[in-house]
């Protein structure tokens, strides 16, 4: 049996650990062979493949990124996308396809499996942790650790100059990275997309922090918006690939804080550093377990299925369950953390 593997969407620490687990168990226990598709859905669309065997996965467990490459190509938005994928799979004699991705990549996999009978198995990945049906996605823990370390460092420079430090973190439309790293890093305000923020209230927290002779740290998720959202939204544009550029709120907020409180403020946008480099031990553990279970789904011909973490167990869920809606931060959880603000 020949199994195809692809990684789609934004890269994320742990992708190589999944690929390694799939290939090692698939070859050693089930005698399968593998084809790697390059750059997400672009690979099967264009028949662009890469060798994927035991030597190809040797030494990749701690490596960030993905040996298969990634892209945001969407075959449902590409002319003749579905027939082209079918044709590639048939020509290469690939009878199962493991798709490792986030909302977009898995959304395609779910539809290909459910509506077109393409034998897909899904593995959830994203640093944003916003996929429903799984408690955690790998990549998130690493991103939170990187952001937390940055916040720790920013505390000391903020204190030395008695400045406000605004730290903008990733997460797209979800505030998980902001919430977890802000809490772990002892931030004085955490602003998330799920709840619009009141700039005056943030300024009050900043002022009260200065009164107590501390320099405030404000963690803002890239998707967060003030109550008067237009101020930031007008700065958000589409890039040449049609993706919304979310960053900008941190810079905007620092200027507002300076204007309204008279305190000096600086912004640090952490950006892609949160996605790069070696995965944490937890992410390697989770990614490896996902890979081992994904190849079992193939063995069982359990297609249209995604592996997911529930508590400490890896379970199987319909891919559509994970992509039907985003998993966002619960207001009660956000309120619980609010006790530390100011
Ligand atoms: O979904 C992962 C993510 O890193 C988001 O947190 C961020 O908004 C987006 O991808 C950035 O995308 P790109 O790498 O295309 O700039």
For residue range 256-307, what is the model confidence (pLDDT) as tens digits? 999 999 999 999 999 999 999 999 999 999 999 999 999 999 999 999 999 9
Indicate if the pLDDT at residue 59 is higher than 60. Answer: yes
Indicate if the pLDDT at residue 48 is higher than 70. Answer: yes
Mutate to test the pocket of ligand 1, among 69, 125, 128, 273 (most ligand atoms within 8 A of CB): 128
Per-residue confidence (pLDDT) for residue 277, from 0 to 100: 97
Per-residue confidence (pLDDT) for residue 257, from 0 to 100: 97
Indicate whether residue 246 lines ligand 1 (CB < 6 A): yes
- Band of the pLDDT at 193, cuts 50, 70, 90? very high
Range with the poorest average pLDDT among 74-78, 188-192, 200-204, 243-247: 243-247
**Nearest ligand 1 atom to alpha carbon 243:** 15
Question: Which alpha helices (DSSP H) does 162-279 contain, by range?
Answer: 176-184, 199-211, 230-233, 249-261
Per-residue confidence (pLDDT) for residue 244, from 0 to 100: 62
Closest CA to 184 of 145, 135, 230, 127: 145
> Atom 13 in ligand 1: which residue has the minimum CA distance?
10
Q: What is the value of ipTM here, to two decimals?
A: 0.98
> Atom 10 in ligand 1: which residue has the minimum CA distance?
10
Most confident of 173-187, 239-253, 327-341: 173-187
Residue 112 φ then ψ, to 5°: -60, -40
Q: How far apart are CA 15 and CA 38, in angstroms?
A: 13
Looking at residues 59-81, what average pLDDT do you find?
95
Looking at residues 128-153, what average pLDDT do you find?
97
Per-residue confidence (pLDDT) for residue 248, from 0 to 100: 87
Q: What percent of the chain has pLDDT over 70?
A: 94
Per-residue confidence (pLDDT) for residue 114, from 0 to 100: 95
Per-residue confidence (pLDDT) for residue 228, from 0 to 100: 78
Indicate whether residue 275 lines ligand 1 (CB < 6 A): yes
Q: What percent of the chain has pLDDT over 90?
A: 92
Per-residue confidence (pLDDT) for residue 123, from 0 to 100: 98
**Integer angstrom CA distances of residue 180 from 9, 128, 216, 265:** 23, 11, 17, 23
- Band of the pLDDT at 236, cuts 50, 70, 90? low
**Following DSSP, what letter does each residue of 131-185 receive, concatenated?**
BTTSS--BTHHHHHHHHHHHHHHHHHHHHHHT-EEEEEE--TT--HHHHHHHHHT
Indicate whether residue 10 lines ligand 1 (CB < 6 A): yes
Q: How far apart are the first and last CA of the chain?
A: 59
Indicate whether residue 171 lines ligand 1 (CB < 6 A): yes
Indicate if the pLDDT at residue 82 is higher than 90. Answer: yes
Mean per-residue pLDDT of the chain: 95
Indicate if the pLDDT at residue 234 is higher than 60. Answer: no
**Nearest ligand 1 atom to alpha carbon 222:** 8
Active site residues: 128
Q: Compute the distance from residue 237 Cα to the ligand 1 centre, in Å.
A: 14
Q: Compute the distance from residue 322 Cα to the ligand 1 centre, in Å.
A: 19
Indicate whether residue 143 lines ligand 1 (CB < 6 A): no
Indicate whether residue 245 lines ligand 1 (CB < 6 A): no
Per-residue confidence (pLDDT) for residue 339, from 0 to 100: 86
Indicate whether residue 66 lines ligand 1 (CB < 6 A): no
**pLDDT tens digits for 199-228?**
999 999 999 999 999 999 999 999 999 997
Range with the poorest average pLDDT among 121-125, 178-182, 227-231, 251-255: 227-231
- Band of the pLDDT at 342, cuts 50, 70, 90? confident
Element (H, E) at 42: helix 42-46
Q: How far apart are CA 279 and CA 62, in angstroms?
A: 6
Indicate if the pLDDT at residue 73 is higher than 70. Answer: yes
């Amino acid at each position: 049996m020949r199994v195809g593997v692809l990684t789609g969407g934004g890269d994320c620490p742990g992708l190589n650990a999944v690929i390694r687990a799939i290939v090692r168990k698939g070859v050693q226990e089930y005698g399968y062979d593998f084809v790697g598709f390059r750059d997400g859905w672009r690979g099967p669309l264009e028949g662009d493949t890469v060798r994927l065997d035991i030597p190809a996965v040797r030494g990749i467990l701690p490596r960030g990124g993905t040996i298969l490459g990634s892209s945001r190509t969407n075959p449902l938005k590409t002319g003749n996308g579905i027939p082209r994928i079918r044709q590639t799979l048939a020509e290469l004699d690939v009878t199962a396809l493991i798709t490792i991705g986030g909302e977009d990549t898995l959304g395609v996999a779910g539809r290909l499996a459910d509506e077109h009978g393409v034998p897909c198995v899904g593995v959830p990945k994203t640093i944003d942790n916003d996929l429903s049906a799984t408690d955690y996605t790998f990549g998130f823990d690493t991103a939170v650790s990187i952001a937390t370390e940055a916040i720790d460092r920013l505390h000391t420079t903020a204190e030395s100059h008695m400045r406000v430090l605004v730290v903008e973190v990733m997460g797209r439309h979800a505030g998980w990275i902001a919430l977890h790293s802000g809490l772990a890093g002892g931030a004085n305000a955490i602003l998330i997309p799920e709840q619009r923020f009141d700039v005056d209230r943030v300024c009050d927290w900043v002022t009260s922090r200065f009164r107590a002779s501390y320099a405030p740290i404000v963690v803002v998720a890239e998707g967060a918006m003030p109550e008067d959202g237009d101020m930031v939204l007008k700065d958000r544009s589409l890039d040449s690939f049609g993706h919304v550029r979310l960053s900008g709120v941190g810079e905007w907020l620092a200027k507002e804080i300076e204007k309204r409180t008279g305190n000096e403020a600086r912004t640090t946008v952490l950006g892609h550093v949160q996605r790069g480099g070696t995965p944490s031990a937890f992410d390697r553990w989770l990614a490896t377990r996902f890979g081992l279970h994904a190849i079992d789904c193939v063995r069982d011909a359990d297609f249209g299925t995604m592996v997911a973490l529930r508590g400490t167990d890896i379970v199987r869920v319909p891919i559509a369950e994970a992509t039907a809606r985003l998993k966002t931060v619960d207001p009660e959880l956000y309120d619980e953390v609010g006790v530390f603000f100011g």
